Amino acid sequence: MTEEVFIYTVGGGTVSQKAIEKKQLLVEALVERIQSANSVVIIDYLGLPVEEVTALRVELLKNGCEMEVIKNNITRRAMAALGYDQMGDHLVGPNAVVFSREDSVSAAKVVYEFAKDHKKLELKVGLVDGDFMNNDKITTIATIPSRETLLTMFAGGLLQPIKEVAIGLSLHIENLENNA
C-alpha cells in the first residue's frame, strides 16, 4: 500500500501533509506542557553567548524550571489554542520558553535575577497560574520574595506581639516582686 502525500501551496512555498501533521503534534504537545506548568515565561536571549545560556539553563534546573527554544509559530499556535492570543504579539525574534514545574514565581525570578548581570537577556511576558502577565506584571512577580522568606516574615510578624506581651508580663511580675 502506498502512502498518499498531499502537497499544499502556502505563501509561495509548498508544505506536505506530513509536515502539517507534525507541526500540529508539536502544538498539541506544547499545549499540554503549558497546561501542566505553574508558570510559563517568554524570554529574549539574543546576544547571549552559549556559555551564558548554559549557565542560565543550569540555574533554571536548580530551581525546578526548564528552558526550551521553540519556534515562534508553534508557540503562537499553542497560546492561541489556550486562549492567550495576546502572547503572539511578543513572539518576535529569537525567544525561549521557560516552564516552571515547582512554583509560580521561580521561572520569572531566576530569569530576572540572571538578567541583572546579563543585560542582553530580556524577560518579556508570561503566564502565571493561568493569568497573562505583561512585562511590568511579570517583573513585579519576579521581585516578590520567595515562599520561605514570606513565611519567615509572616512568622516574625506573628511572634513580635507575643514577644512584647511576654516582656510586659515579665516586667509586671518583676515590678510586683519589688513592691512586695
Q: What is the pTM of this model?
A: 0.73
> Which DSSP string corresponds to 138-173?
HHHHHTSPPHHHHHHHHHHHHHHHHHHHHHHHHHHH
- Note the pLDDT tens digit of each residue in 19-73: 888 999 999 999 999 999 999 999 999 999 999 999 999 999 999 999 999 999 9
Confidence of residue 13 (pLDDT cuts 50, 70, 90): low
DSSP structure class, residue 93: S
Please write the tens of the pLDDT for every residue from 111-121.
999 999 998 99
**Tens digits of residue pLDDT in 93-107:** 889 999 998 888 889
